[in-house]
Amino acid sequence: MRLLIAALAIGLVLTLLLINLGEEMTIYTDFQTAASQPSKTFHVVAEWVDRENSYYDPSQDVFHFRAKDTLGTVRWVQYPDPKPINFDAAQRIVLIGHHQDTVFFAEKILMKCPSKYKEPSAQVSSSMARPE
């Protein structure tokens, strides 16, 4: 009898954990899909475009810029902070947030900098070779 109660308790705890985990998970998608479900949080992989029209509004502490997702859809993005430090060097960005009307509201921005993914140069590799 104790074994049955313990098994049921463990099953209940695991079920609750899976339900909570499922609610917290976000999905990588594009702007179109995010627009169809404005109450959900999504990760959108994009690149910064139309850089000359980007601006920071200090009175509202909001950075406004345009981004293009992997399917080519371009949207205005609002980020509630100044432009991130490595934003200019980022090859791609991951916008974490939700879509409302025609704007994506990014709560976080993750930068994918090209320098982090470059192969070491041949010169560095050859200097690490063992002397003969």
pLDDT tens, position by position, 77-112: 999 999 998 888 888 999 999 999 999 999 999 987
Check residue 119 and give its pLDDT: 55
Structural domain boundaries enclosing 50: 26-116
The string of pLDDT tens digits covering residues 33-79 is: 999 998 899 999 999 998 999 999 999 999 999 999 999 999 999 99
Q: Is residue 13 part of a domain?
A: no
Give me the CATH number covering residue 91: 2.40.50.140
Q: Is residue 125 part of a domain?
A: no
Q: Is residue 8 part of a domain?
A: no
Q: Is residue 76 part of a domain?
A: yes
The Cα–Cα gap between 117 and 97 comes to: 25
Identify residue 61 by its one-letter amino acid code: D
Q: Is residue 96 part of a domain?
A: yes
Check residue 72 and give its pLDDT: 94
Domain count, the chain: 1
Check residue 115 and give its pLDDT: 56
Evaluate if pTM is beyond 0.85: no
Query: Do the strands 27-29 and 74-79 form a parallel or antiparallel pair, or are they unpaired?
Result: unpaired
Q: Which residues contact 76 (CB under 8 A, 6 or more apart)?
A: 64, 65, 66, 102, 103, 104
The secondary structure of residue 100, as a DSSP letter, is: E
